[in-house]
Structure 1
Amino acid sequence: MDLRIFTEPQQGATYDTLLTVAKATEDLGYDAFFRSDHYLRMGSSDGLPGPTDAWVTLAGLARETKRIRLGTLMTAGTFRLPGVLAIQVAQVDQMSGGRVELGLGAGWFEEEHTAYGIPFPKEKFGRLEEQLAIVTGLWETPVGKTFDYDGTYYQLSESPALPKPAQTKVPVLIGGHGATRTPRLAARYADEFNMPFASIEDSERQFGRVRAAAQQTGRRADDIVYSNALVACVGKDDAEVARRAAAIGREVDDLKANGLAGSPAEVADKIGRYAEIGARRIYLQMLDLDDLDHLELISSTVAPQLAQG
């Protein structure tokens, strides 16, 4: 089971804070550092000192880390034109020596679009499908050839399809709860399918839909990596769990029901149950980015139990 660190910087984090967390992620043996792609805080957080851009952040981290994978859950398709996004991701992949992964979603948070003057189109899923076709098509076009695309929302003509990523294939992540269109899109484009903040039962049902959609396209279902993103709140004892829950404004019972909360043994057991339904990777949503001891505790007490299992 891969354990990855997943951050929500729109709630309030500087680049230096994210760099500190990313370096701890690398030093403590985690597989990857991922971040959200939002420009406006959610809930009661004041969001200070303000948002950081996902791909600007990852470009910096690409030069200041050596091993960990870097990516987004999920880049908002509404924020970037697909041709520009293909260039950005390819460049960051080059800067990292081939460690980037692209999570791409339709975008959903209308308020942040209003706050920063970003158009929020009514039809987002159709745009997402075209974006995936364009980004992957640009990367797959042989050097010296051109790429053309004539879609409903985007048109490209005689694109040189440059630059190319360092990796032969940048892993593409698609996720979500949609019962029909999302599995079909994942079957066509995803190297990884992520189920965010979902129960074991709902995850198993959605993984099954993606597997079925993959098989219908003639693709092996196991060619796709299945993963979950879940908020983490782990403590050596009940008091430490309660303290960490209070620090992020959550109730322990809610976190235990809907996330990964409790003692290291409890959390390892629950991760094991996600593994039983096919999850191979867990994104640990860390909401208190100043609590590096939390990362160390999970690395030293939860990860070893998963390795033994």
Structure 2
Amino acid sequence: MDLRIFTEPQQGATYDTLLRVARAAEDLGFDAFYRSDHYLKMGDVDGLPGPTDAWITLAGLARETSRIRLGTLMTAATFRLPGPLAIQVAQVDQMSGGRVEFGLGAGWFEAEHTAYGIPFPKDKFARLEEQLAVITGLWRTPVGETFDHEGKYYTLKDSPALPKPVQERIPVLIGGHGPTRTPRLAARYADEFNIPFASVEDTERQFGRVRAAAQELGRDPGELVYSNALVVCAGKDEAEVARRAAAIGREPDELRANGLAGTPDEIVDRIGRFAEAGSSRIYLQILDLQDLDHLELISSRVMPQLG
């Protein structure tokens, strides 16, 4: 089971804060550092000092880390045109020496679009599908050849399809709870399917849909990685669990029901249930980015039990 760190900087974090967390995650043996792609806080937090851009952040981290993989859950397709986004991601992959992974979603938070003057189209899912076709098509085009695309939303003609990533294939992540279109899209384009904040039962059901969609396309379902994103709240004892839950405005019992919470042994048992449902990778949503001891506890007491 791979454990990855997943942050929500729109809730309040500077680049320096994210750098400390990414370096700690790297030093402690976590597989990857991921961040959300949002421009507006959610809930009862001040969000200060304000948002950081996902791909600018990852570009900086690419130069200031050496091993850990870097990615987004999920880049919002509404924020960027597919051609420039393909350039950005390929460039960050070069800057990292080939450590980038690319999660792309339709975008859903209308208020952040309104706050920063970003169009919020009604046909977001169709645009997402076309963006995936354009971005992966640009990356796959051999050097010296050009890429053309004429779609409903985007037209590219005689694109040199440069620059190229370092990796022969940047891993593409698609995720969500949708029962029909999402599994089909994942089966066509994804290297990894992620379901966020889901129960064990819903996880198993959605993974089954993705596997079935892959088979319908003639693709081996085993080619995909299946993963979860879950809030984590670990403590060496109940008092520490309660303290960490209070720090993020949550209750231990609610976190136990809806995420990964409790002592290291409790969390290992809970992860085992997601593994039985088909998950081989978990993105640990870390909401208190100042508490690096939390990462150390997970690294020293949870990770060694997972093999």
Q: Provide the TM-score with structure 2 as the length reference.
A: 1.00
1:282-301 matched pairs, under 5 angstroms? 282-301=282-301
1:214-229 matched pairs, under 5 angstroms? 214-229=214-229
CA deviations 1:183-236 (Å, max 9, x no partner) are: 000000000000000000000000000000001101000100000000000000
> Partner letter of residue 217 of structure 2?
T
SS of the equivalent of 2:5 reads strand
User: Structure 2 stretches of 5 or more lacking a match?
Assistant: none
CA deviations 1:121-170 (Å, max 9, x no partner) are: 01000000000000000000011110000110111111000000000000
Give distance in 1, aligned partners of 2:95 and 2:18: 18
* Matched residue, 2:260: 260
User: Structure 1 stretches of 5 or more lacking a match?
Assistant: none
* Matched residue, 1:194: 194
Runs (4+) of structure 1 exceeding 4 A deviation are none
* Matched residue, 1:94: 94
* Matched residue, 2:38: 38
1:137-152 matched pairs, under 5 angstroms? 137-152=137-152
1:1-309 matched pairs, under 5 angstroms? 1-307=1-307
Give distance in 1, aligned partners of 2:51 and 2:29: 27
* Superposition RMSD in Å: 0.3
> Partner letter of residue 126 of structure 2?
G
Q: How many residues are treated as equivalent by the alignment?
A: 307
Give 1:277 shift. Answer: 1.2
Give distance in 1, aligned partners of 2:277 and 2:113: 36
> Partner letter of residue 61 of structure 1?
L
CA deviations 1:10-42 (Å, max 9, x no partner) are: 000000000000000000000000000000000
CA deviations 1:267-286 (Å, max 9, x no partner) are: 00010111111101000000
Give 1:46 shift. Answer: 0.4
Give 1:76 shift. Answer: 0.3
SS of the equivalent of 1:55 reads helix
> Partner letter of residue 86 of structure 2?
A
Give 1:171 shift. Answer: 0.1
> Partner letter of residue 73 of structure 2?
L
% identical aligned pairs: 80
SS of the equivalent of 1:232 reads strand
